[in-house]
């Protein structure tokens, strides 16, 4: 479980912030999604979050929701997804690959089977509709040392942050604002005090996501958080100009296009 | 029912963490409201003075004779203000929203009945109202959309996914994730995270309680069987729950649609695609594929084609307390005509499912037995669908003339 944490800490020694990019498996097709992932890993994103598409992704905004629905037309299977991203994970050992999925596809395949399948190349699992209170469901992952990346949100009671922090491993996923993924209209309010309040309760790396879309957003997080998470913005780049545009956006986000 | 919102293996709360506080606040306020006799009295008074309760229990003598079996009684939820049982729930939740100091409500709707009911109660209580509705359902149920707008509500078409109720529910949850500070999410059926299933069923139980009193008074005993259509399950829970300790048999009627093929029906029971799942904030039986993706559904009635079902009903069915059957679109149209022509009552297409199931089984019973069918709503909203299903050409001519006249005005 400490593996992801120490990876982030080691990388952070030389960088003010790391990048976790988000990709929907199977969007727009399975080969193209794998091509995007490969490009991102080649370009050196430190963390890659691969979302297995779900018909009803309630924590996601319109861009990712639409991508999920298109991906589902490709008849994706969770087994194939895990196999495909495991290959990538072992080809690019200088990055870490995480799987994100809503609960229902996971409980249909079964957490026991999932734990068997996932180890050891996938570094963590993000499950947006699994509350910490139902952690027991995912025990097989825990037994296999695959961390569940728990989510903390603005306005959360300190007691709940503590409860989550006490059970968390790998890193904490800090949602930057109320709402769903991809929203950039509402400002991230009092980000600094929000992150400080979490920092006071845990030593785990903090990853911040939801609505992070520009170089400025990321710069604002530097040395306050450990990882910036970018999802919808890259999908929008893909819509605008395919994989080349995703690459340009990535370089821009990393501040290395000058 | 357990304190944690579970009904057997179903129910619970599986929401994104951002909604945790709001869900806890709702749970707390709901419990405190239910312990407050002044609040309960206010709900009852509104049900009576605004919605027109109690609704009658109507004996259908001609229909019973025609079917040649049990005595058929209808619980007339169609006579509620707004023409459906949905009113019972929005009165309760609307007053709760007010009590919680919220200024805006959001709702999701399939047939539009819950949207209209929400818009009505929002107007009455002075709350802002936004209704999410699948673009496909908007096409099928435009008259209801029209009324929602006249009542001052904002109707947002949902074009993602199958563009029906489940997608509207996703959108409402997304809105709630961003707006919980001032917004109350008014769920229209006994689904969703705790405490919604229990709360909606609780507000709807007024139906069953009235049936109990009325049955004893009108035919001197409890009904032998009660039939209710099952979309999300709120009218069924409402009429069934007060009878759980009794010998009355409880029968739910699902939308059999065009037939048993995937995508042609909305049966969350007795079909291979219906299994335990967790989605949209709770666990229940969902229609899903082998990858756990929720499947598209079909019914002639927009109000019954929800992909999941109340966790309360899922549990009651597992325990054999409720029996689930289904009626096809075709049977539903036949039942619709039989009721209209024999009794002078125009049922909603949703309710016509319960009528179809009830009539089918009444024929096998004896004339000294009594069945109650929950007539959850009236058919006015279905004018266009019914005209289409009956292939009524004069209706099309009327529409064409009407449009021509409008254009030449
Ligand atoms: C008239 C009517 N009956 C029944 C239903 C189905 O809902 P439920 O199963 O929650 O009663 C609806 C839903 O819109 C409806 O409008």
Cβ of B14 and A103 within 8 Å?
A: yes
Residues B260 and B363 in one domain: yes
Same domain, B221 and B278: yes
- pTM of the predicted structure, to 2 decimals: 0.96
Is residue B136 part of the annotated active site? The answer reads: no
Q: DSSP letter at A77? A: -
CA of B285: which chain A residue's CA is closest? A104
* List B60, B191, B229, B237, catalytic entry: B60
Q: What is the DSSP letter of A138?
A: G
Q: Are residues B309 and B227 in the same domain?
A: yes
Per-residue pLDDT of chain B (409 residues; tens, 9 = 90+): 567 799 999 999 999 999 999 999 999 999 999 999 999 999 999 999 999 999 999 999 999 999 999 999 999 999 999 999 999 999 999 999 999 999 999 999 988 999 999 999 999 999 999 999 999 889 888 899 999 999 999 999 999 888 888 899 999 999 999 999 999 999 999 999 999 999 999 999 999 999 999 999 999 999 999 999 999 999 999 999 999 999 999 999 999 999 999 999 999 999 999 999 999 999 999 999 999 999 999 999 989 989 999 999 999 999 999 999 999 999 999 999 999 999 999 999 999 999 999 999 999 999 999 999 999 999 998 999 999 999 999 999 999 999 999 999 8
Could you tell which of B141, B300, B346, B377 is best to mutate to test the pocket of ligand 1, judged by most ligand atoms within 8 Å of the CB? Answer: B377
* Nearest protein CA to atom 10 of ligand 1, as residue: B234
DSSP string covering B324-389: EEEEEHHHHHHHHHHHHHHHS--B-HHHHHHHHHHHHHHTTS-TT-EEEEEE-BBGGGGHHHHHHH
Closest ligand 1 atom to B83 CA = 1
B216 and B295 housed in the same domain:
yes
Catalytic residue ranges of A: 49, 60
Both B268 and B215 in one domain: the answer is yes
The gap from C-alpha A153 to its chain's centroid, in whole angstroms, comes to: 15
Distance from CA of A57 to the nearest CA of B (A): 7
pLDDT tens profile B324-340: 999 999 999 999 999 99
Q: How remote is the CA of residue A192 from the centroid of ligand 1, in Å?
A: 47
Residue B150 lies in a domain: yes
Residues 6+ apart with CB under 8 A from A57: A51, A64, A65, A68, A102, A128, B170
Return d(Cα B162, Cα A15) in angstroms, integer.
44
Q: Which of B232, B246, B236 is nearest to B207 (CA)?
A: B236
Calculate how close chain B gets to A231, using CA atoms only, in Å: 17
The confidence score (pLDDT) of residue B2 equals 63
- Work out how many domains chain B is built from and give that number: 2
Both B160 and B218 in one domain: the answer is: no
**CA-closest residue to ligand 1 atom 7:** B231
Residues sharing a CB contact under 8 Å with residue A249, sequence separation 6 or more, in sequence order:
A233, A234, A237
CATH class of the A3-252 domain in this structure: alpha beta
Cβ-based contacts under 8 A for chains A and B? 112
- Evaluated on CA atoms A105, B282, B7, A115, the torsion sign reads positive
Same domain, B137 and B231: no
Residue of B nearest to A175 (CA): B18
Instruction: Give me the pLDDT at residue A179, please.
Output: 86
pLDDT band at A2 (very low <50, low <70, confident <90, very high): confident
Pocket test for ligand 1, best of B350, B374, B378 (most atoms within 8 A of CB): B350
Domain-embedded: residue B386: no
| Domain identity same for B268 and B185 | no
B157 and B78 both lie in a single domain: no
Whether B159 and B106 share a structural domain: yes
Same domain, B75 and B108: no
> Hey, are the CB atoms on B293 and A72 less than 8 Å from each other?
yes
Domain of B172, CATH number, reads 3.40.50.1100
Residue by residue, what is the 3-state secondary structure of B113-138?
HHHHHHHHHHHHHCCEEEEEEEHHHH
Kindly list the residues from chain B whose CB atom is less than 8 angstroms away from the CB atom of residue A72: 293
Residue of A55, A57, A127 best to disrupt the B interface, most CBs of B under 10 A: A55
Share of chain A above pLDDT 90, in %: 88
User: Can you say how many angstroms the Cα of residue A96 is from the centroid of all Cα atoms in its chain?
Assistant: 11
Residues 6+ apart with CB under 8 A from A81: A25, A26, A50, A52, A99
Domain boundary among B196, B215, B247: B196
Q: From the candidates B81, B85, B114, B298, which is the catalytic residue? A: B85
- Selection from B336, B356, B376, B386 nearest residue B82 by Cα: B376
- Residue B2 maps to a domain: no
For B18, which of A66, A108, A153 is closest by C-beta distance? A153
**Pairing of the two strands A96-100 and A124-126:** parallel
pLDDT at B308: 97
A110-130 pLDDT, tens digit each: 999 999 999 789 999 999 999
DSSP letters along B26-90, please?
HHHHHHHHHT-HHHHHHHHHHHHHTT-PSPPEEE-HHHHHHHTSSEEEEEEGGGSTTSBTHHHHH
pLDDT tens track for A145-159 = 999 999 999 989 999
For residue A257, pLDDT beyond 60 = no
Q: How far is the CA of A182 from the centre of ligand 1 (A)?
A: 34
Alpha helices, DSSP H only, in B100-242? 113-125, 135-140, 142-150, 165-179, 196-204, 206-219, 234-240
Going by pLDDT thresholds of 50, 70 and 90, the confidence category of residue A258 is: very low
Contacts of B291 in chain A (CB under 8 A): 76-78, 105, 108-109
Ligand 1: which residue has its CA nearest to atom 14? B303
Take atom 1 of ligand 1 and give the residue whose Cα is closest.
B377
> What are the percentages of helix, strand and coil residues in chain A, rounded to 5?
50, 15, 35
Considering only CB atoms, which residues of chain B are within 8 Å of chain A? 12-18, 20-21, 160-161, 166-167, 170, 173-174, 177-181, 275-281, 286, 288, 290-294
Please calculate the CA angle B241-B252-B186 and round it to the nearest 5 degrees.
Answer: 60
Query: Is position B394 within any domain?
Result: no
DSSP symbols for B273-319: TEEEEEETEEEEEEEB-TTSPBPP---SSGGG--SS--HHHHHHHHT
Six token digits for residue A24: 């929907």
Does residue B212 sit in the same domain as residue B352? yes
With a cut of 90, say whether residue A184 has pLDDT above it.
no
Q: How far does the CA of residue A89 sit from the closest CA of chain B (Å)?
A: 23
pLDDT in the model for residue A185: 65
Q: How far apart are CA A228 and CA B335, in angstroms?
A: 59
Q: Taking each helix axis as running N to C, give the angle between helix B349-362 and helix B329-343, from 0 to 180 degrees, rounded to the nearest 10.
A: 80
Q: Is B385 inside any structural domain?
A: no
- Cα B26 to Cα B196: distance, rounded to the nearest angstrom: 9
**Does B402 fall in a domain?**
no
Of residues B129, B141, B120, B114, the one with CA closest to residue B232: B114
What does the alpha-carbon distance between residue B228 and residue B239 come to, in Å, rounded to a whole number?
Answer: 8
The alpha carbon of B405 is separated from its chain's Cα centroid by a whole number of angstroms, namely: 37
Residues with CB under 6 A from ligand 1: B 84, 110-111, 113-114, 189, 229-236, 303-304, 348, 350-351, 376-377
Q: Which domain holds residue B118?
A: 14-49+85-196
Asked if B60 is an active-site residue, the reply is yes
Each residue's pLDDT tens digit, A34-91: 999 999 999 999 999 999 999 999 999 999 999 999 999 999 999 999 999 999 999 9
């Amino acid at each position: 479980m400490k593996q992801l944490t120490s990876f982030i800490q080691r990388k952070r020694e030389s960088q003010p912030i790391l990048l976790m990019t988000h990709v929907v498996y199977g969007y727009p097709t399975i080969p193209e999604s794998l091509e995007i992932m490969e490009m991102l890993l080649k370009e050196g994103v430190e963390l890659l979050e691969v979302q297995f598409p779900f018909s009803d992704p309630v924590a996601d905004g319109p861009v990712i929701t639409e991508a999920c629905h298109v991906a589902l037309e490709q008849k994706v299977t969770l087994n194939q997804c895990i196999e495909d991203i495991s290959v990538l994970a072992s080809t690019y050992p200088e990055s870490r690959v995480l799987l994100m999925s809503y609960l229902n596809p996971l409980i249909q395949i079964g957490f026991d089977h999932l734990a068997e399948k996932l180890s050891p190349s996938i570094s963590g699992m993000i499950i947006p509709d699994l509350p910490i209170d139902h952690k027991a469901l995912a025990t097989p992952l825990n037994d296999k040392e695959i961390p569940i990346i728990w989510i903390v949100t603005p306005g959360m009671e300190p007691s709940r942050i503590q409860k989550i922090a006490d059970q968390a491993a790998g890193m904490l996923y800090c949602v930057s604002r109320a709402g769903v993924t991809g929203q950039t209209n509402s400002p991230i309010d009092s980000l600094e005090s929000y992150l400080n309040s979490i920092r006071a309760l845990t030593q785990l790396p903090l990853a911040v996501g939801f609505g992070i879309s520009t170089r400025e957003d990321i710069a604002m997080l530097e040395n306050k958080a450990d990882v910036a998470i970018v999802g919808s913005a890259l999908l929008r780049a893909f819509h605008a100009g395919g994989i080349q545009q995703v690459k340009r956006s990535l370089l821009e986000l990393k501040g290395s296009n000058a | 029912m357990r304190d944690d919102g579970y009904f057997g293996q179903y129910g619970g709360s599986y929401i994104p963490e951002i909604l945790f506080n709001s869900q806890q606040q709702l749970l707390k306020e709901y419990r405190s409201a239910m312990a407050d006799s002044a609040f309960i009295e206010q709900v009852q008074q509104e049900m009576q003075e605004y919605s027109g309760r109690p609704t009658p229990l109507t004996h259908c003598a001609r229909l019973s004779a025609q079917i040649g079996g049990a005595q058929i009684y209808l619980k007339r939820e169609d006579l509620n203000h707004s023409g459906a049982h949905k009113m019972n729930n929005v009165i309760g939740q609307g007053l709760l929203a007010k009590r919680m100091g919220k200024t805006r409500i959001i709702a999701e709707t399939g047939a539009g009945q819950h949207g209209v009911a929400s818009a009505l109660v929002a107007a009455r209580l002075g709350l802002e109202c936004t209704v999410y509705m699948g673009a496909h359902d908007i096409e099928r149920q435009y008259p209801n959309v029209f009324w929602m707008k006249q009542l001052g509500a904002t109707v947002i078409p949902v074009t993602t996914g199958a563009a029906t109720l489940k997608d509207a529910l996703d959108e409402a949850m997304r809105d709630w994730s961003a707006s919980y500070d001032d917004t109350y999410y008014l769920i229209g059926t006994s689904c969703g995270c705790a405490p919604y299933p229990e709360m909606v069923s609780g507000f709807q139980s007024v139906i069953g309680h009235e049936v109990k009193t009325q049955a004893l008074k009108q035919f001197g005993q409890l009904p032998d069987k009660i039939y209710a259509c099952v979309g999300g399950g709120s009218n069924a829970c409402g009429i069934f729950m007060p009878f759980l300790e009794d010998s009355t048999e409880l029968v739910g009627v699902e939308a059999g649609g065009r037939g048993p093929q995937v995508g042609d029906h909305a049966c969350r029971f007795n079909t291979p695609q219906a299994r335990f799942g967790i989605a949209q904030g709770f666990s229940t039986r969902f229609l899903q594929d082998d990858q756990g993706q929720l499947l598209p559904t079909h019914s002639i009635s927009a109000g019954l084609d929800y992909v999941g079902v109340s966790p309360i009903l899922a549990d009651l069915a597992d325990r054999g307390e409720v029996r689930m059957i289904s009626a096809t679109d075709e049977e539903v149209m036949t039942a619709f005509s039989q009721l209209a022509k024999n009794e002078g009552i125009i049922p909603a297409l949703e309710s016509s499912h319960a009528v179809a199931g009830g009539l089918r089984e009444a024929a096998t019973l004896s004339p000294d037995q009594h069945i109650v069918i929950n007539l959850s709503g009236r058919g006015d909203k279905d004018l266009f669908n019914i005209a289409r299903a009956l292939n009524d050409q004069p209706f099309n001519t009327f529409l064409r003339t009407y449009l021509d006249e409008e254009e030449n005005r």
